[in-house]
Structures are given as structure tokens and as C-alpha cells.
């Protein structure tokens, strides 16, 4: 019998929020920038619709904002403590970290938004077994 994945596993691995097994994104690599926003329309395992309504992922934009501001606050403090609050280093270091982290922020904002607006369905998991 397969074990039910946790919500953290579902979030980190960008899995379907209904069955916790199907992939949300067509490409698992977030740094494949050509198709960074390409998502499956439906879960390949349970058929859950990843686009419940037009413009659904606009809300993910606000989640992305919260994630990037939080990350920036932490990175500025860490960089400031390491480099003794040198302003040009703070700005450049934070900009580089945000640029490198953009694909992750984009992807995880969408995953989190979908997880917040849907729920796990044990019957979908049972069908998968």
C-alpha cells in the first residue's frame, strides 16, 4: 500500500493538491526558463483541473510578492551582517539572489495559491492506489 504524501511533500515537489501525486508543471525543472509557466491543464493521475477559472493565478502574484519581500528582508539582514551594512553590496547581493530565485518564487507562489484554494480528496488517493 502506498503511503499518502504530506502537504509539505506536495508543496515542495509541486504535486496535485487533490491526489498528491500528479505533477502541476509540465517540466519539473524550475530553471527551464523557456517554459517556466507551462502547467498541465489537468492532473494526469486524478484529472483535477489546475485552472478552475479564468485568471485564477492572479492571486499567486500576491503570494509571490509576500515570498519575495520576506526573502529580501532575510537576505538583506544576512548580507548586512556579513558585509557590515555596505549599501552597494546589500543592493547588489539582494538583486542577484532575487534574480536567481525568481523561477522558484514564481513556481512556489502558484503551488501555494492552488494548495490554499483546494483540498486533498482521499477518494482520489484511493483510486490512485
Condensed to tens digits (0 to 9), the pLDDT of residues 70-99 reads: 999 999 999 999 999 999 999 999 999 999
Cβ of 15: how many Cβ atoms within 10 Å? 21
Given a contact cutoff of 8 angstroms between Cβ atoms, the answer to whether 104 and 30 are in contact is yes
pLDDT in tens, 54-73: 999 999 999 999 999 999 99
- pTM score, whole prediction: 0.85
Per-residue pLDDT, 62? 96
Structural domain spans, the chain = 7-128
DSSP result, 48-81: -BS--STTTTHHHHHHHHHHHHHHHHHHHHHHHH
Separation CA 70–CA 20 (nearest Å): 27
| CB-based contacts of 60, cutoff 8 Å, min separation 6 | 109, 110, 112, 113
The three-point CA angle 102-107-112 to 5° equals 125
Amino acid at each position: 500500500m502506498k503511503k499518502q504524501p504530506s502537504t509539505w511533500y506536495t508543496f515542495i515537489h509541486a504535486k496535485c493538491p487533490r491526489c498528491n501525486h500528479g505533477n502541476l508543471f509540465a517540466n519539473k525543472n524550475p530553471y527551464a526558463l523557456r517554459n517556466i509557466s507551462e502547467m498541465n491543464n489537468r492532473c494526469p493521475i486524478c484529472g483535477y483541473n489546475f485552472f478552475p477559472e479564468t485568471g485564477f493565478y492572479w492571486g499567486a502574484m500576491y503570494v509571490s510578492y509576500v515570498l519575495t519581500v520576506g526573502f529580501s528582508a532575510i537576505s538583506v539582514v544576512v548580507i548586512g551582517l556579513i558585509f557590515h551594512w555596505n549599501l552597494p553590496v546589500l543592493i547588489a547581493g539582494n538583486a542577484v539572489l532575487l534574480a536567481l530565485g525568481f523561477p522558484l518564487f514564481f513556481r512556489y507562489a502558484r503551488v501555494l495559491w492552488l494548495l490554499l484554494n483546494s483540498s486533498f480528496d482521499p477518494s482520489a488517493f484511493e483510486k490512485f492506489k
